[in-house]
Amino acid sequence: MNDFKSLRVLDAFRWIFEKFDIDYPIMRKLIQLKLTMDSRRIPAIFNGQKQKKEGNQFIKSLWLYLFYGLLLLTPFLFLRNQYMFASSILFTVLMFITITTMVSDFSAVLLDVRDKNILQPKPVSNRTLNAAKLMHIVIYLALLEGSFVIIPLAVGIYRFGIFYGLIFIVSIVFVSCFVVVITALTYLFILRFFSGEKLKDIINYVQIFLAVAVMVSYQVMAHSFELTQMNLQYTFTWWHVFLPPLWYSAFFEVLLNQDYSINMLILMACGIVIPLLMLRIYIKLMPTFERSLSKLMSDTVRTKGKSHFFEDWTSKILCRNAQERTFYRFASLMIRQEREFKLKAYPQIGFAIVIPFVMFFNEVRIDSLKEAMANENVYPLYFSALMIPTVVHLLKFSGAYKGNWIFRATPISNSKMFYSSTLKAAIVKLFLPTFALLSIVFIAMFSWAIIPDLLIILLVAIMMTLLSYVLLNGEVYPFSNSHELTQDNNTLKVLVAMVVIGAFALVHYLIAMIPYAKLIYMLILIIAVIVGWRLVFGEKKNHGHS
């Protein structure tokens, strides 16, 4: 096993862990093991064809965050010598990125029960186990944030001096600590009060909720400064105590601008006391967390089967033969029941629901509400299609991926039907409900007249599903790869998807200006979907594996 640099850095903090009664050498070994496993990810044997290179995909994707940092954070440092505004935007973006990755990518690690059977029988305390799990996440988070802030940090030091840099680093440590602990505490709370099957469902709803909450608070943050007045003056209001980015901006205000007003000191105190307090609570409750996690493995005794009316009905409409219908139902069940899949997919649904509204109300801020309503502005709905690339990509994986021998052992004439029906199931089970909900609200806001537009967006979404499959998956058997911590870079996919979806939205916008063109466009899309689907999944006469 390699001796990782990150572990050597961790060694410097050994005394902290020992103070909390954690068996440091054991914890170190556990983390080393996890990191080694992460660096040895290779695709499952059955998926043959192209052998990907070994290595930690996450580390390889860090350069992208470097770029984001440059793009998203650095500009704010060139605002006038007014720390409050610049740094609170900076921290908002930072927290936003951290929480979203925490919720969508690291939740699975935090709630992992797979190695319980291996590690639990060994003489290791729950406390140490949990600390290892947490530190495993923290190392990745530190790398992510490190690459994210390195450029802004350098620019900051250059502009405001070394003291600024020091405060910056300290506050980032506090911010990360805050984010990790608050996520863990939320799960802990849920685990404590629910059990069995219900718990599994609730965890996914919590994820949607967290995703929505993060999005909304991001907006609140931006609005706490009256942007329209252009002077960016900060005035303290009592509810600012609940906005963590302001706590850390206050650090700069107090220490660099020598603003010792009571408001600033309160904010700064919050920034130090609250994370530490929460960390203290978390450490105290850690053993409870591990114990409650085992609830995730149990199944409540059920003696009756669930009805599959909806799946039956949709499978009859969407699938042509019995095999496809069978697999469609199978995929629907996998999507509905696999915990790891849901852990990663459900936050996307949360974003898909909330982003269109955020975009809509941003519009409203520029125009007036009345004007925005009159415009029948349906374009924000395109943002809901952003969930598609991620969800389609997730269909490759399963916690029980080794069960995929069954696909090969069974007599299947056209192996392309596996993905064809899986994609259909994903659209029906995940995208359609989300989109239906959004459509109802948008129809209520505007009028029935937007229905053609909604149909166009739906067709584009189906196109996106097909495109995502071709570009991201392109393999024969779904649910056949191991889920892993951070397999690929999500953000890059979303970025590419954004460009494609943007192009579609632009076409839609232009078409809307020509009368009757919408109907023609819709027809073209329908034909494109059908032809595209046939091209990708159509049965070829003599295909064989060789």
Partner 1 sequence: MIGEPILRLQNIEMSFGNKQVLNGINLEVGKGQIIGYIGPNGAGKSTTVKLMLGLIEGYSGKIEIFGKDIADGDYTYKKRIGYVPETAELYDHLTAAEYLTFTGEMYGLEREEAEKKAYQLMFQFGLEHAFHQRLTSFSKGMRQKVLIISSVLHNPDLLFFDEPLSGLDANSVLVVKEILAKLAEEGKTVFYSSHIMEVVEKISDRIVLLVNGLVVADGSFEELQQQGKEGTLEEIFNQMTGFNQQVEIAERFVEIVKEGRVHE
**C-alpha to C-alpha distance for 442 and 362, rounded to whole angstroms:** 16
Q: How many residues bind partner 1 (CB under 8 A)?
A: 40
Greatest Cα-to-Cα distance within the chain, rounded to the nearest angstrom: 79
Question: At 444, phi and psi to the nearest 5?
Answer: -65, -35
Report the nearest approach of partner 1 to the CB of residue 43 (Å). 15
Residue 321: left if φ>0, alpha if ψ -120 to 50, beta else—which one? beta
Report the nearest approach of partner 1 to the CB of residue 315 (Å). 10
Estimate the share of the chain in helix, then strand, then coil, as percent rounded to the nearest 5: 75, 0, 20
Q: Among 303, 307, 309, 513, which residue sits at the site for partner 1 (rule: CB under 8 A)?
A: 303
**C-alpha to C-alpha distance for 110 and 98, rounded to whole angstroms:** 15
Among 155-163, 279-287, 303-311, 447-455, the segment contacting partner 1 (CB under 8 A): 303-311
- Answer yes or no whether residue 333 interacts with partner 1 by CB under 8 A: yes
Identify which of 400, 180, 401, 159 has the alpha carbon closest to the alpha carbon of residue 275.
180
Q: Cβ of 361: how many Cβ atoms within 10 Å?
A: 14
Binding mask 413-442 for partner 1 (x = CB under 8 A): x-----------------------------
Report the nearest approach of partner 1 to the CB of residue 414 (Å). 10
- Answer yes or no whether residue 294 interacts with partner 1 by CB under 8 A: no
CB 69 within 8 A of CB 223: no
- Answer yes or no whether residue 337 interacts with partner 1 by CB under 8 A: yes
Among 76-84, 145-153, 206-214, 302-310, the segment contacting partner 1 (CB under 8 A): 302-310
Compare residues 53 and 304 and give the one whose CB is closer to partner 1: 304
- Answer yes or no whether residue 321 interacts with partner 1 by CB under 8 A: no
Compare residues 320 and 408 and give the one whose CB is closer to partner 1: 408
Question: At 260, phi and psi to the nearest 5?
Answer: -95, 30
- For 531, half-sphere exposure in the C-beta direction (CA atoms, 13 angstrom radius) is 6
Report the nearest approach of partner 1 to the CB of residue 27 (Å). 20
Q: Among 317, 366, 409, 449, which residue sits at the site for partner 1 (rule: CB under 8 A)?
A: 409
- Answer yes or no whether residue 338 interacts with partner 1 by CB under 8 A: yes
Identify which of 466, 443, 486, 485 has the alpha carbon closest to the alpha carbon of residue 388.
466
- Answer yes or no whether residue 398 interacts with partner 1 by CB under 8 A: yes
CB 135 within 8 A of CB 27: yes
Coil/strand/helix, residue 482: strand
Compare residues 25 and 515 and give the one whose CB is closer to partner 1: 25
Query: What's the token pair of residue 299?
Result: 């199944």
Q: Among 166, 220, 277, 297, which residue sits at the site for partner 1 (rule: CB under 8 A)?
A: 297
Question: At 416, phi and psi to the nearest 5?
Answer: -70, -15
Q: Which residues contact 283 (CB under 8 A, 6 or more apart)?
A: 20, 127
- Answer yes or no whether residue 53 interacts with partner 1 by CB under 8 A: no
- Answer yes or no whether residue 298 interacts with partner 1 by CB under 8 A: yes
- Answer yes or no whether residue 375 interacts with partner 1 by CB under 8 A: no
In eight-state DSSP terms, residue 105 is I
Compare residues 240 and 325 and give the one whose CB is closer to partner 1: 325
Binding mask 28-47 for partner 1 (x = CB under 8 A): ------------------x-
To which H or E segment does residue 508 belong? helix 490-511
Degrees, nearest 5: CA angle 53-56-60: 90
Amino acid (1-letter code) at residue 176: S
- Answer yes or no whether residue 23 interacts with partner 1 by CB under 8 A: no
Compare residues 333 and 496 and give the one whose CB is closer to partner 1: 333
Segment 448 to 487, residues that bind partner 1, using CB under 8 A = 479
Degrees, nearest 5: CA angle 361-367-373: 65
Report the nearest approach of partner 1 to the CB of residue 333 (Å). 6
Report the nearest approach of partner 1 to the CB of residue 325 (Å). 8
Amino acid (1-letter code) at residue 464: M
Among 49-57, 58-66, 400-408, 454-462, the segment contacting partner 1 (CB under 8 A): 400-408
Compare residues 125 and 326 and give the one whose CB is closer to partner 1: 326
Q: Cβ of 172: how many Cβ atoms within 10 Å?
A: 21
Written as one string, the DSSP assignment of 284-304 is HHHHHHHHHHGGGG------S
Positive/negative CA dihedral, 334, 336, 341, 345? positive
Q: Among 317, 322, 444, 449, which residue sits at the site for partner 1 (rule: CB under 8 A)?
A: 322
Among 244-252, 280-288, 330-338, 483-491, the segment contacting partner 1 (CB under 8 A): 330-338
Compare residues 194 and 225 and give the one whose CB is closer to partner 1: 194
- Answer yes or no whether residue 307 interacts with partner 1 by CB under 8 A: no
Residue keyed to tokens 């996450």: 58
Q: Among 408, 436, 506, 509, which residue sits at the site for partner 1 (rule: CB under 8 A)?
A: 408
- Answer yes or no whether residue 334 interacts with partner 1 by CB under 8 A: yes
Q: Would you tell me which residues interact with partner 1 (CB under 8 A)?
A: 46, 297-299, 301-306, 322-323, 326-327, 329-330, 333-334, 337-339, 398-400, 402-403, 405-406, 408-413, 479, 542-546
